[in-house]
Amino acid sequence: AQSVTQLDSQVPVFEEAPVELRCNYSSSVSVYLFWYVQYPNQGLQLLLKYLSGSTLVKGINGFEAEFNKSQTSFHLRKPSVHISDTAEYFCAVSRGSQGNLIFGKGTKLSVKP
């Protein structure tokens, strides 16, 4: 069975500081991995995805993530955050089709001025 663990439920950070949101997955088969962002009272927006190929994946809004198969991790990073990055971030792994997703519990990123 597949599962996703987001190790931090909340990450407070100051504006312009770097941030890393951690995600580990468990799967016995090849995986497709995703990071989604959810702003208050909104749906989910895809930040980036790993389907195959290069293990360093770049996404929207300056975010990137690295797929590490040996450590079963897919951590999300941004070198300098903005107030507007305050949101809930979900790591997800697909089961079969790319829309059939198992989500981690989410990490609330709070960017302070």
Partner 1 sequence: DTEVTQTPKHLVMGMTNKKSLKCEQHMGHRAMYWYKQKAKKPPELMFVYSYEKLSINESVPSRFSPECPNSSLLNLHLHALQPEDSALYLCASSQDWAFFGQGTRLTVV
Residues at the interface with partner 1 (CB under 8 A): 34, 36, 41-46, 49, 51, 90, 97-101, 103-106
Is the Cβ of residue 45 or residue 80 nearer to partner 1 in the bound state? 45
Of 108, 72, 106, the C-alpha closest to 92 is: 106
What is the phi/psi pair of residue 83, to 5°?
-55, -40
Minimum distance, C-beta of residue 109 to partner 1, in the bound complex (Å): 15
Minimum distance, C-beta of residue 60 to partner 1, in the bound complex (Å): 12
The DSSP string of 33-75 is: EEEEEE-TTS-EEEEEEE-SS-SEEE-GGG-EEEEETTTTEEE
Minimum distance, C-beta of residue 47 to partner 1, in the bound complex (Å): 11
Minimum distance, C-beta of residue 108 to partner 1, in the bound complex (Å): 9
Q: Report the alpha-carbon distance of residue 111 to residue 83 in Å, rounded.
A: 5
Is the Cβ of residue 99 or residue 113 nearer to partner 1 in the bound state? 99
Residue with tokens 């971030």: 89
Is the Cβ of residue 17 or residue 51 nearer to partner 1 in the bound state? 51
Cα torsion angle, 60, 77, 32, 6, sign: negative
Is the Cβ of residue 15 or residue 32 nearer to partner 1 in the bound state? 32
